[in-house]
Amino acid sequence: MITVVGSINLDIVATGPKLPRPGETVTGAKLARHPGGKGANQALAARRLGADVRLVGAVGADEMAGEALKLLQAGGVDLSSVQHVNGETTGVALIAVSMDGENQIVVCPGANAVLRPADVEFVETEHMMGVLEVSADTLLAAARKATGFVSLNLAPAMEVPEELLAEADLISVNETEAAFYGGALHQLEACIAISLGSEGATLWRKGKEIARATPPKVTVVDTVGAGDTFTAALTVGLIEGQSPQEALAFAVAAGAVACTRPGAQPSLPKRLDLDPYL
């Protein structure tokens, strides 16, 4: 069982001809609403790839909560540790997507910001995944309870306690996040995965590259959720006992397939979807 500790959002997506520059208004966009949040995305991605998954998170006691949890519930993610918090809104991500699939995202955390260490105290945790859209203290409490594999996605980039980093077996970042953290990541005991967008990804240990994978050719529709799919797939692969190279290729293929459909959670691939690309 993988316990994911992370954010739950409702994504409000505007897809238009181009992304706006500062101060610019772009019209002609189409509006859609999808369940999202990096924690929820990774939980559902891992579940669709075959893992048993529990999500620890928080939503508001509002009309958006059911919409945000709908695909998780339908997908078989254990939601018994998700709180409905009075006086808080469900988290919302405002997403602009261009016709070539690039995006800009503004997140309103809402109930995600009130998840606390006490909320994981009585959650039985074997393997654990965490994202930085909830407090580092809560992630640390969960990581310390984990008896198995600990995967941390250091997104969005921010200062992170050394105690949390020391608990990780796998740390995943994209190029921008890797630049923020710098060489300090390579001093850790954890494997470091760096996703490189259309160029694929690399996997490092103690400053030495141990695996590299390039993505299959796909038609990109929307890159939202691709990074979460990559992180979840890599974690699932390593937990299953795949070699670093096998797990990285599996993760890169999963992330690429997620780019072929619109929306974060609606785009998450199932295991069989990956077979033609592996």
Q: Per residue in 181-207, pLDDT tens?
A: 999 999 999 999 999 988 999 999 999
Q: What average pLDDT does the segment 48-61 reach?
A: 97
User: The tokens 């930085």 sit on which residue?
Assistant: 132
The residues near 208 (Cβ < 8 Å, ≥ 6 apart) are none
Domain of 203 in residue numbering reads as 2-19+30-277
How high is the pLDDT of residue 222?
A: 79
- Identify which of 27, 77, 33 has the alpha carbon closest to the alpha carbon of residue 55: 77
Q: Is residue 215 part of a domain?
A: yes
Q: Which two tokens stand for residue 224?
A: 């939202």
Task: Give one DSSP letter per residue of 117-180, joined into a string.
Answer: GGGGTT---SEEEEETTS-HHHHHHHHHH-SS-EEEE--S-----HHHHHT-SEEEEEHHHHHH
Where in the sequence numbering do the catalytic residues fall?
A: 228
- Whether the pLDDT of residue 267 is over 90: the answer is no
CA distance linking residue 100 with residue 218, whole number of Å: 13
Please state the domain count of the chain: 1
Q: How confident is the model at residue 69 (pLDDT cuts 50, 70, 90)?
A: very high
Q: What average pLDDT does the segment 135-154 reach?
A: 97
Q: Is residue 14 part of a domain?
A: yes
CB atoms within 10 A of CB 206: 12
Q: What is the pLDDT of residues 82-132, one digit of tens each?
A: 999 999 999 998 989 898 878 888 989 999 999 999 999 999 999 999 999
Q: Is residue 176 part of a domain?
A: yes
- Whether the pLDDT of residue 263 is over 80: the answer is no
CA distance linking residue 122 with residue 137, whole number of Å: 16
Q: For the domain that residue 78 is a member of, what is the CATH number? A: 3.40.1190.20
Q: Is residue 24 part of a domain?
A: no
Share of residues in the chain with pLDDT > 90 (%):
82
User: The tokens 């339908």 sit on which residue?
Assistant: 74
How high is the pLDDT of residue 193?
A: 98
Q: Is residue 25 part of a domain?
A: no
